Amino acid sequence: MKRDQPGLSMTGASVVDYPLSAATAERTPVQANMLARARAFAEPLIADETLDTGENTLAHADAVAAIVAAMGGSEAMQAASYLVYSCQHLNRPQEVIAKVFGDNFAALAVETTKLVHVQKQARSATASAHLADGASSQTENVRKMLLAFSRDLRVVMLRLASRLQTLRYAAASKQPVPEGVARESLQVFAPLANRLGIWQVKWEIEDLSFRFLEPETYKLIARLLDEKRIEREGYVNKLRARLERELAAEGVKATVQGRPKNIYSIVKKMRGKSLDFAQVFDILALRVVVADVKDCYAALAWVHSHFQPITEEFDDYIARPKPNGYQSLHTVVREVVDGRVGKPIEIQIRTQEMHDHAEHGVAAHWAYKEAGTKGYAGVWASGEYDAKIAVLRQLLAWERDLSGGSQGQGLFDDRIYVLTPDAAIVELPQGATAVDFAYSVHTSLGHRCRGARVDGAMVPLNTPLQNGQTVEIIAAKEGGPSRDWLNAELGYLVSHRARAKVRAWFNAQITHETVARGRELVEKVLQREGKTAVKLDDLASQLGFKSADQLFEVVGKDEFSLRNIEMLLRPPPEPVQAPEDGLVIKKARAGASTGKGGVLVVGVSSLMTQLAKCCKPAPPDPIRGFVTRGHGVSIHRANCTSFRMMAARDAERVIDVEWGQPRAGAEAPVYAVDVAVEAADRQGLLRDISDVFAREKMNVIGVQTQSVKGTAWMTFTVETGNAARLAQVLGVVAAVPGVRSARRR
């Protein structure tokens, strides 16, 4: 059984058993010969099997166990490497493994196997995506799903080790790696290893992935490095010996090592800073490991006094640790010999403890029960240090890295990731149901959802979904949602987006019914007037509406008088007989009378007036009069659309009017006007607006509201004695939180 793998050098940390379940604080007792027993259990099941890559499954498990050991994993953790690959060959893997090795091992094996399957499906979906943004979205969802499955650190470590071995095998056997696997390794697994601080794994995954993604560039940089290798190694060895010797003379005991640079990081720096190969600073690099923090700064002082430092390349990660807890001093210097400035050399200075963390990351903490008074990543702690909490903290930080640094709840708390039958990953809130899933896929599918299969089994529509499940929706050909879905107590919907779509559907039905009612009323008018041949869209256009449905909607809401339609349809009246002097309307004020609503009709006495319902004028609005048949003078606001149309058609019936003065001692008249309010819908909005009218002593005599897709439209009919005063009140209404506009109709 293989135990040594190239490319990993992880020593110096004693190992204790890590808690084998993220759901419980109990430790599973160490079983004798656990590793040998697990391998013996798996061997007959997987010895003759091969993976998709062509690698023998048992050999792969051997290599994964060795990598886990090098990462600092316990013998129990290494044993789990074999159990994972046994699951697919067992009818009831959780039951069988639990009986032989315990519940914790069974849960780990099944969870890891499930994640492998989900990632394989996601890669297939990404490969078949036709659009670049679709593939990018799938990659991001794979990252998130890995997080969602990674409540147990062992799952993360086993997946990292397995992916590293897959890349190693392909490189050793000179076989190509599918682009999806290589890209996922570079974009998902390497950043995860970086966030956990497992640098050796991170660097090797990056280099191997890059080797398969850009083979020509990889070969070029490898050749350039090799051409300079002998010269570089000789120079580095001389520098290393000098630093050890002269630091010892200063009383600083140090171990100095040359530090190899991985090819991917070289290329990344060249591209990021537009440098050529010779300009990349840290191809020559040394690492200085000392006893304590005081010696770190003493060594730095010596280096800066004997070499020429490049100031902008200095970083103090001891005073300001990286988010994942990494600590070290980084400086770039040049050696000056006989006035000649040499090549840049990067030097890292750290303590042994910092070095252990840099090499092993979170795995280094498996060896400790306590972190002392100062906890992981510079977080103050007291009492016993829980390594699992530190791991989860880093996974959450990794999540923020992937999402661009946004803060908020972690994926562990409020998100799940499930699959469509085509293996596309769908992100949902924790507790989401199949109905939430249907709406997230497509609004129409949500409306028509009538049943669901989860992992092939029929379930009630209000069953909460779990990470990694495959959901298939059974839908009717047509139809709409159930009102029960909006009942929070029944638990059909968790997603706010899905709930909004259901509400929008029912609001649309109300609008549809309103339009149907308005159409019926308009058509009755046309029948009564004998104008059934009139095209409805033309009629709407003449009345100032963009479409017939807009006309039907306002008529259905009783916001537009049918008399406007009647007047438009009726033929022009007979000319008004002129008095003997030949004038229809006298412009003098003599003989004027005040009619209904306090309106003064200029030049005509004892003439009945009425305020038009289409525009509801109120003082001091500019007004005009229109002589009707049998109903006196209709008073309109001067800018009323209906008045303009009637005036254009029958100009001779237009009459000058103005507001009269109320009689002495008489009660001041009030006028009913309509106010339109648009606002972001929220709880208590209607109450807050009504409170404004009440405080301003304006009587509200009617309210109509409608909410569509989170926007509320409200029409208030209020009584006012003065339109100017109303304009002031509307300014107060516009300041109510959520209100976008408040105006007279």
Q: Quick one: pLDDT at residue 122? A: 62
Q: Is the pLDDT of residue 144 over 60?
A: no
Least confident range from 239-243, 444-448, 588-592: namely: 588-592
Average pLDDT over every residue of 53-78: 86
Average pLDDT over every residue of 300-328: 88
% of the chain with per-residue pLDDT over 90: 17
Give dist(CA 455, CA 476) in Å, integer. Answer: 21
Q: Which residue has the higher pLDDT, 192 or 676?
A: 676
Average pLDDT over every residue of 531-555: 83
Give dist(CA 701, CA 710) in Å, integer. Answer: 26
- Bridge-based pairing state of the strands 340-351 and 285-290: parallel
What confidence tens digit (pLDDT) does each residue in 337-392 have? 877 887 788 899 999 888 877 766 554 443 332 233 333 232 222 323 234 434 44
Strand partners, 516: none
Q: Which residue has the higher pLDDT, 232 or 515?
A: 515
Q: Quick one: pLDDT at residue 382? A: 30
Same domain, 340 and 295: yes
pLDDT bucket at 467, cuts 50 / 70 / 90: confident
Torsion sign across C-alpha atoms 148, 66, 203, 219: negative
Same domain, 676 and 630: no
- Residue 580: Cβ within 10 Å count: 5
Q: Give the tokens for residue 665.
A: 């001692």
CATH number at residue 465: 3.10.20.30
Q: Which helix (H) or strand (E) holds 679?
A: strand 671-680
Q: What is the dihedral of CA 300, 304, 310, 311, to 10 degrees?
A: 70
Q: Quick one: pLDDT at residue 311? A: 86
Q: Quick one: pLDDT at residue 139? A: 54
Average pLDDT over every residue of 573-580: 43
Q: Quick one: pLDDT at residue 417? A: 74
- Residue 448 falls within a domain, yes or no? yes
Residue pair 551/539 in contact (Cβ under 8 Å)? The answer is: yes
Give dist(CA 419, CA 20) in Å, integer. Answer: 28
Same domain, 87 and 119: yes
Q: Give the tokens for residue 462.
A: 């209000």
Same domain, 265 and 141: no
Q: Give the tokens for residue 95.
A: 């039951």
Same domain, 560 and 611: no
Q: Which residue has the higher pLDDT, 735 or 703?
A: 735
- Residue 590: Cβ within 10 Å count: 8
Helices (H), 361-433: 387-402, 411-414
Q: Quick one: pLDDT at residue 571? A: 60
Least confident range from 65-69, 239-243, 409-413, 578-582: namely: 578-582
- Residue 648 falls within a domain, yes or no? yes
Q: Which residue has the higher pLDDT, 532 or 140?
A: 532
Average pLDDT over every residue of 499-514: 87
Name the phi and psi angles at 157, rounded to 5.
-65, -40
Q: Which residue has the higher pLDDT, 618 or 559?
A: 618
Q: Quick one: pLDDT at residue 653? A: 86
Same domain, 238 and 305: yes
Least confident range from 89-93, 112-116, 303-307, 635-639: namely: 112-116
Residue 442 identity (one-letter amino acid) = H
Q: Give the tokens for residue 673.
A: 């006007």
- Please say which residue of 332, 364, 396 terminates a domain: 364
Residue pair 181/166 in contact (Cβ under 8 Å)? The answer is: yes
- Please say which residue of 348, 364, 380 terminates a domain: 364
Q: Is the pLDDT of residue 267 over 90?
A: no
Least confident range from 51-65, 96-110, 576-590, 638-652: namely: 576-590
What total of structural domains would you count in the chain? 6
pLDDT bucket at 559, cuts 50 / 70 / 90: confident
Give dist(CA 643, CA 634) in Å, integer. Answer: 9
CATH number at residue 684: 3.30.70.260
Residue 632 CB contacts under 8 Å (≥ 6 apart), including other chains: 595, 596, 607, 608, 609, 610
Average pLDDT over every residue of 541-563: 81
Q: Quick one: pLDDT at residue 172? A: 92
- Residue 574 falls within a domain, yes or no? no
Same domain, 476 and 613: no
Give dist(CA 12, CA 355) in Å, integer. Answer: 10
What confidence tens digit (pLDDT) does each residue in 37-60 have? 889 998 998 898 888 888 999 999
Q: Quick one: pLDDT at residue 224? A: 77
Same domain, 56 and 181: yes
Residue 28: closest CA among 41, 37, 36, 19: 19
Average pLDDT over every residue of 504-513: 85
Q: Quick one: pLDDT at residue 317? A: 93
Q: Is the pLDDT of residue 244 over 80?
A: yes
Same domain, 82 and 114: yes
- Residue 25 falls within a domain, yes or no? no
Q: Quick one: pLDDT at residue 388? A: 42
Range of the domain at 262: 225-364
Q: Which residue has the higher pLDDT, 391 or 323?
A: 323
pLDDT bucket at 288, cuts 50 / 70 / 90: very high
Q: Give the tokens for residue 303.
A: 């280096």
Q: Which residue has the higher pLDDT, 266 or 333?
A: 333
- Please say which residue of 364, 380, 397 terminates a domain: 364
Residue pair 440/465 in contact (Cβ under 8 Å)? The answer is: no
- Bridge-based pairing state of the strands 609-611 and 633-637: parallel
Q: Is the pLDDT of residue 4 over 60?
A: no
**Averaged confidence pLDDT in the chain:** 76
Average pLDDT over every residue of 53-71: 90
Give dist(CA 67, CA 414) in Å, integer. Answer: 33
Average pLDDT over every residue of 145-157: 61
Burial string for 721-737 (b: 16+ CB within 10 Å, else e) reads bebeebeebbeebeeee
Q: Give the tokens for residue 195.
A: 């966030």
Q: Give the tokens for residue 404.
A: 């661009």
- Residue 385 falls within a domain, yes or no? no
Same domain, 204 and 294: no
Q: Quick one: pLDDT at residue 298? A: 93
Same domain, 641 and 698: no
Least confident range from 126-135, 232-241, 319-328, 562-571: namely: 126-135
Q: Is the pLDDT of residue 396 over 70?
A: no
- Residue 257 falls within a domain, yes or no? yes
- The tokens 């029944």 sit on which residue? 490
Same domain, 122 and 187: yes
Q: Which residue has the higher pLDDT, 324 or 486?
A: 486
Q: What is the dihedral of CA 547, 551, 557, 563, to 10 degrees?
A: 180
- Residue 169 falls within a domain, yes or no? yes
Q: Quick one: pLDDT at residue 19? A: 32
- Residue 534 falls within a domain, yes or no? yes
Least confident range from 307-316, 375-384, 731-740: namely: 375-384
Q: Quick one: pLDDT at residue 664? A: 66
Residue pair 171/211 in contact (Cβ under 8 Å)? The answer is: yes
Q: Quick one: pLDDT at residue 294? A: 93
Give the predicted TM-score (pTM) of the model. Answer: 0.46
DSSP letters, 560-579, are S-HHHHHHHHSPPPPPPPP-
